[in-house]
Structure 1
Amino acid sequence: MKRLLRTISMMAAVLALLWGAGNLLLEVQLPTAPEGRGAFPDPMDPEMNLSDVFLALPAANGSEQSRVALLDDNATAWLTRWRLLAEARQSIDVSYFILKQDVFGAALLGHLIKKAREGVRIRVLLDAMGTEMSRDRRGNGYLGVLVRTPGVQVRVYRPLKYRYLDAFLTLNPAAVIASDHDKILVVDGRRALTGGRNISREYFSPPADDPTAFHDTDVLLAGRQIAAAMTTAFEAQFTSGEAKPMQSGALHLDGSEDDLLEAYQLMDEWLRGLGLPDRTADIEQTWAHQLQGMPGLHGILDSESPGYESTRVRLLNSRTRLINPNDAITRSLIRLIRSAREEIFIQSPYLVLLKDAAELLEEAAERGVRITILTNGPAARDRAIGQAFFFDQWPRLLQRIPSLQLYVGGDRHNLHSKIAVVDRRVSLVGTYNFDPLSMLVNSELVIVADSEALAERVLEKPERLMAAGPPRTYRYLLAPAGDQTDAPAMIEFGPTDHWQAKQWPAVAAYQYWLIKPLRVLDTPLL
């Protein structure tokens, strides 16, 4: 027993020594948590109108006149990326949170290898937490091929071993999950693309072909100034100390360049409307089978390009808050919400509001502003922990914000768009979810455009979804409160009216084991 106690004491002493020594060398320091309303600092005059607020956004991160094309169709979003890569002549910068090894991920890598052979300079940044390709033997090999390609630089944002070390040294679990959630594609310093889509099948399959395909929104941007702002955002992460060069030797796996070029060729032929050749390799058959399941992509290469709107644009960039606590997106959202006078629309796949965020919407409602939110319902089966928090919050949101209309998706199509529109004039499209991960932890990007025409275009698809009604979408409602304004919210229609908890037991588990204890601790969640 004494020997065991001595061993435990020695281990504790060694850990304490390592922790102390590590902190002396630690480059990453977590920002201190702000208190109260300081969580959302806003030094601007709350009486500023919408036009003044837009003009006060950082002008260096945008352009007085850019061309913006909305990509709210999956097939068009993939085709636009394919064309951008094909037309690249000098440089390609790519940053994604998720890159899977399905036919889309493999074809993208094959396309990059082809462009590198043509002399195009290529830089790729992938997040260690989100990149699922790196967790598989074959996928690791594919990344190794890319690393070994001349003219290509590949870096990984916050490799997992550094995350766990940072969490140990800072005693903060946020160090494990803090990620680069940006989605960036910049070509030749002239055109750029960002939005909600990662690189995998669910983001680009036509919904008519795939019952689990996502609905998402990107924007294509044309103009040197806005492209330069996107490049600056890319380089801020790519050249940071948190982005580590990927070494092919460290992967310990050999991949086939031919496999990736074959994926590129199959994808290109399918988009051109050609038939798929009869091949025998297993991986080729897998990719061909995936493409055959998406007839909506067949032959679309000759389709017309999406129409542009010419408008003023700003780029809001919030780097990973683990590294840089300056949060331009949240700060700007506060200003835009406070400037709203008529209407606010928000679509977010995950809706978990902090108390301060709910208070901002409540203040807007008190000014007579109509508020509409569209988010995922339980049928989408994405991120059970987020749904558990949403189920807990939504009745109190409706009770506190009388002008709020709350809609949820009713089928398996994940509503993955991250968009907002203020007074049907200023629209926001980007990577930022209305949840604590985006508000407090991850790196995010948002494009803000001042155009009534573009705002109407952004609203067109979500308004069509909400108007479709059940079973496509549902509106959650509370029963009339009458004179008992302080009475607990009584639900007229909610999740249990179109979904049974036993269909997704993880939600109930999170509600019992996580949300109830957080309530007792009086956390800053609503």
Structure 2
Amino acid sequence: MTLLFGCSSTGFHERDEPKSVSYHFGYQHDSQLDKLFQQSIYDVKTHTGFYPLSLGHDALLARLALIETAQSSIDLQYYIYRDDETSQLISWRLYEAANRGVRVRILLDDMQRRSDRAMATLAAHPNIEIRLFNPHQYRQARSLALLSDFDRLNRRMHNKSLTADSVVSIVGGRNIGNEYFSFESSVEFDDLDLLIYGNTVEQTADQFDIYWNSEYVAPIEWIYPGVKVLQEEVVATRLEDSRLDVKFSSGAYNFSDLPFYQELSTQNLSLYWGPAKLWYDMPNKVSGESSHLVDNLVALLDDVEHSLVLISPYFVPTKEGTVELVEAVQSGKRITVVTNTLASNDVFAVHGWYAKYRKQLVEGGVELWEIKSSVSIETSWSFTGSSRSSLHAKAMLFDDNKIFVGSMNWDPRSAYLNTEMAVVIEQPEYVQKSLSELESELEKSAYKIVIQDGNVAWYDPETDDILTTEPEASIWLRLGAWLAGLLPIEEQL
């Protein structure tokens, strides 16, 4: 956003008048997206068709395709929205959509520091609105704001969605930034989104409206008032100087070289279908209310008959959760957990607390895998520029027939502090295919945690070696994680 619309910030000026209220327009019949996705086989009142976006460049292309095709409305809701090449490209396309008359609503959590002026300048466009969830009261002294109002500001909106014309949505684990889309970054996230069509799209749109109109959001014009609309020629000059179009239409990052591009261009996108629901927390969770998503998830976990695969980049099971997972194994269920190694985890404090439960989990029969930081993430682009990979997908596979994909990690923060969302779909074919692929992938890309001589060890199926210290992690990183595990911070992780 900054590159296109300037940079600066100022104080937060609340207004006495109430916020304007707005809602999604409903499914846009006869729109281009309707014509692209419409089908007559499945009941879209109860079923969702989905396309898994497991590759970063496909996830970026899918978002751009929805933005460029939308004719009525675009709603975006994200925890992180960077100021890098992929973020600027999305901002540019949103601006173009607004220019052709599409209503654009952007809802961002305010934990990440951004340029208030840049956001206000973009929102000055008559067809663009931007609101911040749970904003910091001191715009230039965010640390002071956090210290003075920690309980409120510690609770964040972690939801992630994009909806176009109330016809198609993208939900899952990705934020907006280079590391999520296989573009040059020091770390590349292995993540998962679902492009969805059907009954959960309206649920996603309803969810967005609840947050958009809630008491916990502030329009950017309250925070940075009085900004004028940028002249078209100014935007055009900045775009020309940035050469964004060249970066994504030639060379290593050419969209047209992607197989997914061909599927979209030829309208040959095959969806998996199944009964589905969208689960989400209400905004008042940040005021201490219980988690609707967790309540639903507990009921689903109670119904597991024989197997559960849990994929979470930040895995802090807590004492109670560890006992429950072990008891599930003892009752005859196969429990598999996939998470990051210390080296691939971008939050070492999380690893420090997770490590306290590894031995008990493995001794209790839980199959525990940690993803290598050196694993090569599949990509059709010739060079990602990343030196380290990190698992970021948040998914669960239940009994060979249901999949859970969303923003929620398996940790206390997701359960009690942040708001979250996820889609749950019954689709045996896709789940069984995913389980088969996961099994072979773990053999190449992960360590299996084992107990050797009474201690935790890392077995590498690819080399048949057993390591006795945290793989690929420096002594300083190991020391930092260990010290974090001594601090009373588990409920914050």
Shift of 1:125: 0.2
Residue 516 (1) aligns with residue 486 (2): yes
Corresponding residue for residue 239 of structure 1:
213
- Once the two structures are superposed, the pairs formed by residues 468-507 of structure 1 within 5 Å of their partners are 468=444, 472-479=445-452, 489-493=454-458, 496-502=469-475, 505=476
Corresponding residue for residue 92 of structure 2:
110
Corresponding residue for residue 125 of structure 1:
107
Residue 314 (1) aligns with residue 277 (2): yes
Whether the 8 Å contact between 1:166 and 1:175 is mirrored in structure 2 is no
Corresponding residue for residue 405 of structure 1:
368
Q: Whole-Å Cα distance in 2 between the matches of residues 509 and 211 of structure 1?
A: 21
Shift of 1:239: 0.8
Higher alpha-carbon Rg: 1
Tell me the alpha carbon deviations over residues 114-162 of structure 1, each in whole angstroms, 9 at most, x when there is no partner: 11111111111011103x4x15xxxx44323311111111101111128
Corresponding residue for residue 59 of structure 1:
none
Q: Secondary structure at the match of 2:389?
A: coil
Corresponding residue for residue 73 of structure 2:
91
Shift of 1:180: 0.8
Shift of 1:464: 3.7
Task: Count residues in correspondence.
Answer: 419
Gaps of 5+ in 1: 1-61, 266-278, 481-488
Q: Whole-Å Cα distance in 2 between the matches of residues 351 and 495 of structure 1?
A: 21
Letter in 2 for 1:311: G
Inter-CA distance 497–352: structure 2 relative to 1 (3 Å threshold): closer
Percent of residue pairs bearing the same amino acid type: 22
Whether the 8 Å contact between 2:247 and 2:254 is mirrored in structure 1 is no
Q: Secondary structure at the match of 1:414?
A: strand
Residue 179 (1) aligns with residue 156 (2): yes
Corresponding residue for residue 56 of structure 2:
74
Q: What RMSD, in angstroms, separates the aligned Cα atoms of the two structures? A: 3.2
- Once the two structures are superposed, the pairs formed by residues 407-426 of structure 1 within 5 Å of their partners are 407-411=370-374, 412-426=388-402
Shift of 1:220: 1.1
Whether the 8 Å contact between 1:314 and 1:449 is mirrored in structure 2 is yes
Tell me the alpha carbon deviations over residues 476-516 of structure 1, each in whole angstroms, 9 at most, x when there is no partner: 11127xxxxxxxx42233671523442xx35523532x432
Letter in 1 for 2:451: L
Shift of 1:302: 4.0
Inter-CA distance 524–90: structure 2 relative to 1 (3 Å threshold): closer
Letter in 2 for 1:216: D
Corresponding residue for residue 378 of structure 1:
342
Q: Whole-Å Cα distance in 2 between the matches of residues 122 and 518 of structure 1?
A: 42
Picking from 210, 224, 227, the partner of 2:201 is 227
Whether the 8 Å contact between 1:318 and 1:443 is mirrored in structure 2 is yes
Whether the 8 Å contact between 2:349 and 2:485 is mirrored in structure 1 is no
Q: Whole-Å Cα distance in 1 between the matches of residues 392 and 257 of structure 2?
A: 26
Q: Whole-Å Cα distance in 1 between the matches of residues 133 and 52 of structure 2?
A: 28
Gaps of 5+ in 2: 1-43, 375-387, 459-466
Shift of 1:425: 0.7
Corresponding residue for residue 305 of structure 2:
341
Inter-CA distance 249–397: structure 2 relative to 1 (3 Å threshold): closer
Shift of 1:457: 4.2
Shift of 1:244: 0.2
Q: Whole-Å Cα distance in 1 between the matches of residues 233 and 320 of structure 2?
A: 53
TM superposition score normalised by structure 1: 0.72
Letter in 1 for 2:87: G
Whether the 8 Å contact between 1:378 and 1:495 is mirrored in structure 2 is no
Whether the 8 Å contact between 2:191 and 2:393 is mirrored in structure 1 is yes
Residue 204 (1) aligns with residue 181 (2): yes
Tell me the alpha carbon deviations over residues 84-122 of structure 1, each in whole angstroms, 9 at most, x when there is no partner: 111111111111111111111111111111111111111
Q: Secondary structure at the match of 1:244?
A: strand
Q: Whole-Å Cα distance in 1 between the matches of residues 342 and 263 of structure 2?
A: 36
Whether the 8 Å contact between 1:427 and 1:458 is mirrored in structure 2 is no
Q: Whole-Å Cα distance in 2 between the matches of residues 495 and 293 of structure 1?
A: 43
Corresponding residue for residue 52 of structure 1:
none
Whether the 8 Å contact between 1:93 and 1:122 is mirrored in structure 2 is yes
Inter-CA distance 227–525: structure 2 relative to 1 (3 Å threshold): closer
TM superposition score normalised by structure 2: 0.76
Whether the 8 Å contact between 1:313 and 1:447 is mirrored in structure 2 is yes
